[in-house]
Amino acid sequence: MPTALARKYMNSDVLTQPAQQVEAYLAQVLDQRPLPPNLREAARYAVLGPGKRLRPILTLHSASAVGTTQQQGAKEALAAAAAIEMIHCFSLVHDDLPAMDDDNLRRGRPTLHIHSGEAMAILAGDLLMGLAFELIATALEPKELAGRVSAELAIATNDMIAGQVYDTIPDFDDAIEPLERLETIHRHKTGALFQGACRMGAICGGGDEAEIEAITRYAQTVGLMFQIVDDLLDVTQTTEHLGKAAGKDAEQGKETYPGLLGIEPSRQEVKRLQAEAHESLARFDSRADPLRELCDLMAVRRK
């Protein structure tokens, strides 16, 4: 059962309003782009299922945290938000494939390769990666901004792919301690998209270097916090509740924060990172309140 605090945040405008805005935009992009009907259907299935939309929400709130007005960079931030969600969805589709995590449940529904077949799942994932960059290149003005944002998106995507390799085909030096290995995996696999999401938002919103740096620290901290919470949920919640396979980390013998530190110390680490994320936003006024609320939500989420 979600706590009262988690329930309050799940219904918060901080989440629902930007999530709806991004979902409507994503549907429009996927409907307007000429595509074979079966590929469009697969891409829509992958993207428009019931996801939390945390990364695009971070993009939009990072843009407003630095923006001088509500409108500055709003169109650009929305396109960047949709692009990061497409990259995230591509990664989920490919991660679920038989050659990777071999999962048949995602967002409470059959994974894309179960729904549309393996070949289509590979191709729809590829498409989403291409579409994300196409969107940045075509929707952002001026073109200098498009170049800057697409570089951020490329770095985030490639670091995430490196994180998947660190996690699933590891090639670490034996001298590296388990906790450092785990942090390296998560800072790449999960943290990279959080960082890219926030930096793209701050750049679209017209943030200066110091603001972008502060938002980057916030993103790195909440990215790690999100993953520790994810590790905790994997051992404390059911598959039915999560809408994806629970208990997989232990089943696959994966190192996790609860596995290395224990459950209670992991919860303490979540609290420490939550406080650190708030500190990183100290220079911002109330326009960063949605980022502060989002951090608190991610700390108490039950899904």
54 binds ligand GRG (CB under 6 A): yes
Residue 131 CA to residue 299 CA, distance in Å, equals 31
Residue 60 CA to residue 80 CA, distance in Å, equals 9
Label residue 60 left, alpha or beta by phi (over 0 means left) and psi (-120 to 50 means alpha). Answer: alpha
161 binds ligand GRG (CB under 6 A): yes
For the chain, count helices (H), then strands (E). Answer: 16, 2
Give the SS3 label for residue 205: coil
| Element holding 57 (H helix, E strand) | helix 54-66
- Touching ligand GRG, residues 213-232 (CB under 6 A): 230
Q: Which of 150, 190, 195, 266 binds ligand GRG (CB under 6 A)?
A: 190
- Take residue 225 and report the two structure tokens written for it: 């916090």
For the CB of residue 247, give the shortest distance to ligand GRG in the complex, in Å. Answer: 13
For the CB of residue 144, give the shortest distance to ligand GRG in the complex, in Å. Answer: 29
168 binds ligand GRG (CB under 6 A): no
160 binds ligand GRG (CB under 6 A): yes
Residue 52 · residue 89 · CB < 8 Å: no
Residue 273 · residue 224 · CB < 8 Å: yes
Label residue 127 left, alpha or beta by phi (over 0 means left) and psi (-120 to 50 means alpha). Answer: alpha
Q: Which of 95, 152, 211, 296 binds ligand GRG (CB under 6 A)?
A: 95
266 binds ligand GRG (CB under 6 A): no
Q: Which of 61, 94, 113, 188 binds ligand GRG (CB under 6 A)?
A: 94
Give the SS3 label for residue 109: strand
187 binds ligand GRG (CB under 6 A): no
Nearer to ligand GRG by Cβ, of 214 and 233: the residue is: 233
Nearer to ligand GRG by Cβ, of 126 and 279: the residue is: 126
Would you give the end-to-end CA distance of the chain in angstroms?
Answer: 10
* Closest to 292 measured CA to CA, from 280, 301, 303, 302: 280
Nearer to ligand GRG by Cβ, of 63 and 224: the residue is: 224
- Touching ligand GRG, residues 99-128 (CB under 6 A): 100, 107
Listed ranges 20-28, 37-45, 51-59, 282-290: which one lies at the site for ligand GRG (CB under 6 A): 51-59
Listed ranges 4-12, 63-71, 86-94, 203-211: which one lies at the site for ligand GRG (CB under 6 A): 86-94
245 binds ligand GRG (CB under 6 A): no
CA distance readout (Å), 34 to 23, 25, 83, 103, 136: 19, 16, 17, 30, 17
129 binds ligand GRG (CB under 6 A): no
For the CB of residue 230, give the shortest distance to ligand GRG in the complex, in Å. Answer: 4
Binding-residue total with ligand GRG (CB under 6 A)? 16
Residue 77 · residue 135 · CB < 8 Å: no
**Binding site residues, ligand GRG, CB under 6 A:** 51-52, 54, 88, 91-92, 94-95, 100, 107, 160-161, 164, 189-190, 230
